[in-house]
Chain A
Amino acid sequence: SQQGEEDPQALSIQEGENATMNCSYKTSINNLQWYRQNSGRGLVHLILIRSNEREKHSGRLRVTLDTSKKSSSLLITASRAADTASYFCATTTRLNYGNNRLAFGKGNQVVVIP
């Protein structure tokens, strides 16, 4: 199964700055999602962008998807200390009705310095 791959993998920024993370994948997808994980805890879904969408916003989050380049980016604007976390992109491949496989990328560790 394919995996998304994010670049860069570690990012340290000052509070108030914007943080940008990238993700690339290798095969056709149904959609791409971004998840956040605070240290050693469960993942929280942030945003889903479908394969026929190019850009999506949710609050301070902006996600882009370029299916021709098989890449996506996540932008967090006006970062806050609470945004410190690991961020994973995940691609969804549908197997059949009721089944889909979520393949996670390596993740980006973001540290927001107050």
Chain B
Amino acid sequence: DTEVTQTPKHLVMGMTNKKSLKCEQHMGHRAMYWYKQKAKKPPELMFVYSYEKLSINESVPSRFSPECPNSSLLNLHLHALQPEDSALYLCASSQDGGPFTDTQYFGPGTRLTVL
């Protein structure tokens, strides 16, 4: 199974709402990632989890809160977002970061609209 799943596919939320994005992989990967992608732009790294611990936070605003409950799951909790946070949010995973295991497997993304 080389699939990364993300739910929901689409999310519309108001600026006062609290919502969560979910990501799951069953490839035994120990590194998981959140990316944000605006239209016609490349993905931008937000967070990296390695062995269930947050290892990289790319200076993301605190209204985005990642969580890794176990090695297969990755959540992104959203609170008090702004309209400019509307984007495609991509989850990815990779193996344990050995020298030849840098390939990342991406989920289909969650299209987020903040009203």
Contact = CB atoms under 8 A, between A and B. Distances in A.
Interface of A: 3, 30-31, 33, 35, 40-45, 48, 50, 88, 92, 94-95, 97-107
A60 B99 CA distance: 26
Contacts of A97: 96-98
A98 B102 contact: no
A50 B100 contact: yes
B73 to A, nearest CB: 17
A45 B42 contact: no
Interface residues on B, range: 20 to 34
B97 A104 contact: no
15 contacts: A33-B102, A33-B103, A40-B109, A92-B102, A94-B102, A97-B96, A97-B97, A98-B50, A99-B31, A99-B48, A99-B56, A99-B97, A100-B97, A101-B45, A104-B43
A94 B51 CA distance: 16
B111 interface: yes
Interface string B17-46: 000000000000011010000001111110
Interface in B69-102: 88, 90, 92, 94, 96-100, 102
A42 B102 contact: no
